[in-house]
Amino acid sequence: MEIRPILSAMLRNKTGPILIALQIAIALAIITNAAFIIEQRYDKMNRPTGMDEQNLIFARSIGFGESHDQLRMIREDMDMLEAMPGVVSVGYIDQIPLSGSGSNTGFSATLPSDDPERVDANGNYYQADHRAAEALGITISEGRWFNREEIEYKPGDYTMPSSVVVTRAWADEAFGVGEPIVGKPLYNELGHSSRIVGVIEHMQGAWVGWSGLNRVVIFGAYEEPPTATYAIRVEPGQKDRLVPEIEAKLQEINRNRVVLSVRTLSEYMARSYSNDSAMISMLAGVSVLLIAVTALGIVGLAAFNVNQRRKQIGTRRALGARRFDILRYFLTESVIITAIGVALGIVLTFVMSWWLGTQFNLPQLDWRYLPPVVLGVFLISQLAVVGPARRASRISPALATRSV
């Protein structure tokens, strides 16, 4: 088929093809960048946590009254929780990972007096007992976890506990990548120290948007009263059943406290990633809407062209053109318009990616996202024009030329 007649017909009525090409270009740019951002957010939400997040429950309570005994309450609570059917293990930890709430400060491999130019490695720090590693489901890659005897309880004493466990990410930041650190001291900004007894292979901290999410420091200690937080690992499929039971049991065993919350780690993660989930839903919805609007625009232009060219189509049929020839004509016209739109869209895609990167500190678009979107645009444009093209191919030569 010759392209010249198609181009001539398009040039006689330029407005429609130009608008559709621009619509395709804008849709291509937005959908490609949206797909890239969706993939980035999805990967962020599905990063390994280093914990058994699918089976973890966290319970928090606060005691009150002059007779409140923090250590006794913790022992009684944990004995009760471990005896519950469906509970695998229970550990104490003062704050909840991936909840958006936590404590952060700088720690270093050297004393300030020994190294005036030292750079602290910020870490999200926790206090936990000897059972917390098993309860959280974390893996120790070097050294060991705390022994029972190492867990300290010093209310009102703000010196650092004697033993600490750190993640490999924090160790690499403070000591250098791959350096052995078990047995070495860790210092805070005041010069207090703890001895590193183990290295966690991987664990995420409190803030999902923080670049140091994997830099976690855990001390062997109990939190100052009156708040107590427990990590409870349960058997698969038992979370929903156990959450209300745990809350009722904690309230029943000790009336001199308020149960603040009993929630799954999945709930905390869903809240922390709520903005990312909303972004994914919004971008997906906009992409679907753009696809629909673009397809309708192509259908509308093709239907308009069919109505405008009925006599031309009838004349071609009378001169021997087959239905397939008419169908191919409109499909080719759609390919040409789409190709122009795609060419403009590719340029616009990278311009938009650059703008998003400078304005919102987003990574630059990976070019590999373009080919599937381009192929999808061509496929949708061809499918959209099939209906009007088939109606054009069925136009009778006699009907089209009746007024000639």
Digit-coded pLDDT (tens) for 81-113: 999 999 999 999 999 999 999 999 999 888 866
Whether pLDDT at 283 is above 60? yes
CA proximity to 81, closest of 268, 256, 247:
247
* Token pair in block for residue 192: 């207090």
pLDDT of res. 404 = 44
pLDDT at 399: 58
Confidence of residue 288 (pLDDT cuts 50, 70, 90): very high
Boundaries of every domain in the chain:
4-46+274-400, 53-267
Asked if the model's pLDDT at residue 400 lies above 60, the reply is no
Q: Which residues contact 256 (CB under 8 A, 6 or more apart)?
A: 63, 64, 65, 67, 68
Least confident of 154-168, 190-204, 219-233: 154-168
- Tokens in use for 243? 């959450």
Between 195 and 65, the higher pLDDT residue: 195
Q: Which residue from 1, 5, 88, 29 is spatially nearest to 355, judged by alpha carbons?
A: 29
- How far apart, in whole angstroms, are the C-alpha atoms of residue 79 and residue 202? 28
In angstroms, the CA 122 to CA 119 distance is 9
pLDDT of 178 above 50: yes
Q: What six digits make up the tokens of 6? A: 């198609």
Average pLDDT over residues 323-328: 82
Token digits of residue 15: 């407005």
Question: Is the pLDDT at 318 greater than 80, yes or no?
Answer: no
Strand partners, 216: 124
The pLDDT assigned to 309 comes to 75
In 180-290, at which residue ranges do the beta strands (DSSP E only) sit? 185-188, 193-200, 216-220, 227-234, 257-264
Beta bridge partners of 63: 257
Distance CA 377, CA 36 (A): 16
Rounded to the nearest 5 percent, the helix, strand and coil shares of the chain are 50, 20, 30
Which carries the bigger pLDDT value, residue 309 or residue 63? Answer: 63
User: How far is it, in rounded angstroms, from Cα 97 to Cα 56?
Assistant: 11
Distances from the Cα of 105 to the Cαs of 218, 387, 394, in angstroms? 12, 64, 75
Structure token digits, residue 94: 């003062």
What is the average pLDDT across 142-168? Answer: 90
- Sole residue written with tokens 């239907």: 303
Q: Prior bond to 180 cis, omega within 30?
A: no
What average pLDDT score do residues 105-122 get?
78
Pick from 13-17, 153-157, 232-236, 371-375: least confident: 153-157
Categorize the per-residue pLDDT at 248 as very low, low, confident or very high, splitting at 50, 70 and 90.
Answer: very high
Name which residue leads in pLDDT, 4 or 229.
229
Q: What confidence score (pLDDT) does residue 113 get?
A: 66
The DSSP call for residue 13 is T
Per-residue pLDDT of 356-389, as tens digits, reads 998 888 889 999 999 999 999 999 999 999 888 8
Structure tokens at 182: 């078990």
Asked whether 243 and 57 are in contact (CB, 8 A), the reply is: yes
With a pLDDT cut of 70, the percent of the chain lying above it is 95
Cα–Cα dist 78/75, whole Å: 5
The whole-number pLDDT of residue 401 equals 54
